[in-house]
Chain A
Amino acid sequence: MEPIKWNDEKIEQHLKSLPPIKDRRSKQELYLKVQAKVHYKDNKGKRLPTWSLPALATACALVIFGVFVPDLMKNGGKMEQSKIAIEADKGSKGMDAASTATDEEVSLKSENKAVPVAYHGPIQESSLDGVGVDQDWVTVGYLDEQAQLVIPVSFVTEPNHYLDKVNEHVKKFDPAKAGLSGSPLQRAKITEEEETVFIDWPAGSIYEAEESLLKPLMALTFANENQKYKVVFRTDGKEGYEFPRTGPLNYLDLEVPGAPHFRYDAPTTDAFIVSLFSAGLEDDELPGELKGALEVMDEEQGYGLKPLLPKDLEFGVREITDDSVEITFPDSIELSHDDTEDLMMIDAILLTAESYGYESIMFKNANLDSIGPYQLNEPIEGITGQNVYHYQ
């Protein structure tokens, strides 16, 4: 018997006859859920008594003044998430602890003992939920002042399409304020279709020094969650772009490989955590596994990248599942819950583990219950974004 073949008409008929799938919830049930999320906007200004807004503003101002002003003065006006988290942590442990906040909380243990830093930590996805307002984030790659490194900077945003968020912050953020130079993306018209980003530059707008870092810059901007992405280049609307070294290029496939993370101090007081991939190293030049990455994270790397792990100490790495790992601190390590450099070390390990595909990281032998926003006695999940910048 001859096999029956599909034809276009049969396929179209079948598509049209696929069964309708209905929402099982009632209209009222759905309305209540929706209302809960838009309710506030609807009633803003209606239910609150007239005196409440000035009173609320005054209360907020007092809190901000009392809690943050000392740090703003120390940090040149920059107050970062990690510090806020430390304050929150202290607050939960009692007013005495909070009222005795000292310089050490934002200074370094090592050679920069007395230098306050504005540290830009990563985001934990859970911190974006449950605060009454939906939040999202976006990451944009910038160059350091020497154009040797890509510094990915994340911003907490309102939920929006990813590319719209990129475009918004490329315009809004002034990298010089964080000790960074610009991003070639600032000179581009960026659009998107599906998994492809279209980057359109005016001819001659990419400098030779920038070229070697374009791939990590775009990967860290558009493929920073381990998905693969493709960018297509255009020049004034026409296909392809003539790069100063590579010559004409139509597209690039982007992927962020697993890589060890280090500290980068900008000429301002801003401190960032940056991966070795940011220096333009190729996949095959980077450690292939988390264990290997941790082993090099105690070494100076050039490009202005400084180690955050103590020298010559071995960290245990045990993979629990494909996406969860257990990291054991060496016995000799001593962590302090209010030490920024210790927090940066934890963040660097978390970001490194995350870059190798581990979504859940459990620390062992930390001899500390919590540091910054993290509870060290339970798995830490959802590390995302990097070097979060909060506008003043």
Chain B
Amino acid sequence: MKETFDRLYDEYHHALYQFLFYMVRNRESAEDLVQEVYIRVLNAYESFEGKSSEKTWLYSIARHVAIDWLRKQSRRNKRFLIFDIKESESVLRDQDPLPEELVAKKESFKDLYKMLKRCSLDQQQVLVLRYIQSLSISETAQILSWTESKVKTTQHRAIKELRKWLDQQPGLEEELKDGTN
């Protein structure tokens, strides 16, 4: 088991952790979830049939783990009874501080990070997988069990949504003139 774990860790750990973090927006929760991903993967490793690539299989498990966690959070926070799952997640996430890696970044990144959570869960997954994880359309489609055309449409709509919200954010003139970092 150690050998398998070592190999999976070396090849995928950073990417999986990052994916989970950007989905749940909480460092500790992402740590728990990535651990859960390894447990599920190692328990099922022998039955992995290789129908998809190992990489997309791992992401697919991570995605399910993240969605299950988001739902559980929603259930456990009955105070958000009147909201739907997306809204309650947004409220939850507002309580999480910005990761320190982002604190040093310019306001435009912080705004983008904040606006990302306003997207639907579908859109967030696509944006994280496509841009933050740099996965191809084909890989993203496999992970989400979607068609490639659905990935493209969702990605297009997500960028549009983000743009709409970001345009409503004040105070970007100066830094955009300076560059993006």
Binding site for B on A (CB under 8 A): 1, 3-8, 10-25, 27, 30-31, 33-35, 37-38, 41-42, 161-162, 193-195, 225-228, 322-323, 357-359
Q: A38, B1: Cβ atoms under 8 Å?
A: yes
Check if B159 sits within 8 Å of A12, measured CB to CB: yes
Query: A20, B101: Cβ atoms under 8 Å?
Result: yes
Q: Do B1 and A195 have beta carbons less than 8 Å apart? A: no
Q: Which of A12, A21, A34, A357 contacts B17 (CB 8 A)?
A: A21
Q: A14 to chain B: which residues have CB within 8 Å?
A: 108-109, 112, 180
Tell me whether B51 is interfacial, beta carbon within 8 Å. Answer: no
Chain A residues positioned under 8 Å from B134 (CB to CB) = 16
Q: Which 10 A-B pairs have the closest CB atoms?
A: A225-B75, A15-B131, A19-B101, A357-B78, A228-B84, A23-B17, A21-B21, A34-B38, A6-B166, A322-B79
Task: Report the Cα distance A6→B22, complex, angstroms.
Answer: 22
Give the A-binding residues of B (Cβ under 8 A).
Answer: 1-2, 5-6, 9, 13-14, 17-18, 21-22, 27, 30-31, 34-35, 38-39, 42-43, 64, 68, 71, 74-76, 78-79, 81, 83-86, 88, 99, 101-102, 105, 108-109, 112-113, 120-122, 127, 131-132, 134, 159-160, 162-163, 166-167, 172-173, 176-177, 180-181
Give which listed residue, B13, B83, B162, contacts A23 with CB less than 8 A.
B13
Query: How many pairs, one residue from A and one from B, have CB atoms within 8 Å of each other in the complex?
Result: 143
Contact check, A226 vs B78: say whether CB atoms are below 8 A apart. Answer: yes
A227 to B87, CA, bound (A): 11
For residue B93, give the distance in angstroms from its CB to the closest CB of chain A: 14
| Complex CA distance for A52 and B99, rounded to whole angstroms | 51
* B interface: dominant SS: helix
The answer to whether B101 and A41 touch across the interface, beta carbons within 8 angstroms, is: no
Whether the pair B84, A195 counts as a contact (CB closer than 8 A) is yes
Q: List 14 A-B contacts (CB under 8 A).
A: A4-B172, A4-B173, A12-B159, A15-B127, A15-B131, A20-B101, A22-B14, A35-B2, A38-B43, A161-B64, A194-B120, A228-B83, A228-B84, A322-B78
- Known interface pairs A1-B173, A4-B172, A227-B71. Does A23 touch B34 (Cβ–Cβ under 8 Å)? yes
**Which of B14, B74, B180 contacts A13, CB < 8 Å?**
B180
Contact A34 B35 (CB under 8 A): yes
Taking A1-B173, A357-B78 as contacts, is the C-beta distance between A23 and B121 under 8 angstroms? Answer: no
Residues of B within 8 A of A21 (CB): 17-18, 21-22, 27, 30, 99, 101
Interchain CB contact under 8 A, B43 and A41? yes
Question: Which B residues touch A161, using CB under 8 A?
Answer: 64, 68
Q: Which residues from A are CB-within-8-Å of B132? A: 15-16, 18
Report the separation of the CA atoms of residues A251 and B94 in the bound assembly, to the nearest whole angstrom.
31
Determine the chain A residues whose CB is within 8 A of the CB of B176 once the complex forms: 4, 10
Report the minimal beta-carbon distance from A37 to chain B, rounded to whole angstroms: 5
